[in-house]
Amino acid sequence: MTDDSREPFRGGTGTVADFLASFDGDVDAAIAALRAHHGGTPPVARVPRRPRRERSGDHIITVSDLRKTYKMGRQKVSALGGVSLEIDRGEFVALTGASGSGKSTLLQIIGGLDKPSGGTVLVDGVDIGRLGDAKLSRFRNRTIGFVFQFFYLQPFLRLATNTEVPGMFARTPRKQRRAQALSLIEEVGLSDRSRHLPREMSGGQMQRAAIARALLNQPAVLLADEPTGNLDSATGASIIELFERIRDEFGTTIVIVTHDDDLALRADRTIRLSDGVIVAQDVVA
């Protein structure tokens, strides 16, 4: 970094806007310069510390060189700059990283809710980028459960019916899906709330409800974006315990996005993103 007039951090002053302006608003070029400044693609550190679970090597998720660029008028925003990772069947992984580092984008693409600009995602052996819309939504409904930060429960449906919704899309017979819903509601500790509307439940209860609903079709993979983001830390911890139990009881592969380092440490592995690339992967002790 001697003679580059666009050296990003010279002097350590200047705003992000000044910095971007020096690249004529070309965000990709700016990020590339930042990466170069930090010595190229950041090294991926793997720090094994007494793994709680052996990794099986049976990959249920394989992400290869995933890229995502959003076009905003003439400006391009690179959200993912070549992410590759593998997640084992039954593994519990936490995605961490600063705001804007690409966590939600990665989770959405793994779950087939968004399309990448490049690269591939295999889920349970299926290259989801090759599925047409109808096949993709069927695959998603059967294989993947989503839990979002703001729950997205239907406000006018009681808990039992809310939980049944994915079974309706999967055309599970009514009696069967009701039985599955009630059993999951019991699993998440809400048996005495099955006739409640979402507005009659607390935040932690709504999150449990959203988890029960996500599990209805017995998905192989459960994806959760900031599942504890809205909750106080004790309630958040109880949600994480619930994930652990689900993983242990059903063998579900769980990938959560979280800002909370304490919660991330409860996972088998953390994967940290920065500026759309993986900068560290740690097996949690």
Ligand X SMILES: Nc1ncnc2c1ncn2[C@@H]1O[C@H](COP(=O)(O)OP(=O)(O)OP(=O)(O)O)[C@@H](O)[C@H]1O
Query: What is the pattern of x (binds ligand X, CB under 6 A) and - over residues 57-76?
Result: -------------x-x----
Shortest Å distance, C-beta 27 to Mg ion: 18
Shortest Å distance, C-beta 152 to ligand X: 16
Phi, psi of 208 (to 5 degrees): -60, -40
Interface with Mg ion in residues 224-283 (CB under 5 A): none
Q: Which is nearer to Mg ion, 104 or 207 (CB)?
A: 104
Query: What is the pattern of x (binds Mg ion, CB under 5 A) and - over residues 51-90?
Result: ----------------------------------------
d(CA 200, CA 27): 45
The amino acid that residue 173 corresponds to is: P
Taking CB under 6 A as the criterion, the residue among 97, 204, 219, 236 binding ligand X is 97
Under rule CB under 6 A, residue 32 binds ligand X: no
Under rule CB under 6 A, residue 102 binds ligand X: yes
Q: Are 259 and 100 in contact (CB under 8 A)?
A: no
Cβ-based neighbours of 21, under 8 Å, separated by 6 or more: none
Name which of ligand X, Mg ion, none residue 280 binds, using a CB cut-off of 5 to 8 Å depending on partner kind.
Answer: none
The amino acid that residue 108 corresponds to is: Q
Q: Are 158 and 194 in contact (CB under 8 A)?
A: yes
Under rule CB under 5 A, residue 105 binds Mg ion: no
The enclosing H or E element of 11 equals none
Compute how many other C-beta atoms are within 10 angstroms of the C-beta atom of residue 261: 10
Shortest Å distance, C-beta 102 to Mg ion: 9
C-alpha closest to that of 140 among 214, 246, 207, 225: 214
Name which of ligand X, Mg ion, none residue 221 binds, using a CB cut-off of 5 to 8 Å depending on partner kind.
Answer: none
| Alpha carbon of residue 39 to chain centroid | 28
Q: Are 279 and 42 in contact (CB under 8 A)?
A: yes
Name which of Mg ion, ligand X, none residue 283 binds, using a CB cut-off of 5 to 8 Å depending on partner kind.
Answer: none
Q: What does the binding site for ligand X look like in residue numbers (CB under 6 A)?
A: 70, 72, 77, 79, 97, 99-105
Q: What does the binding site for Mg ion look like in residue numbers (CB under 5 A)?
A: 104
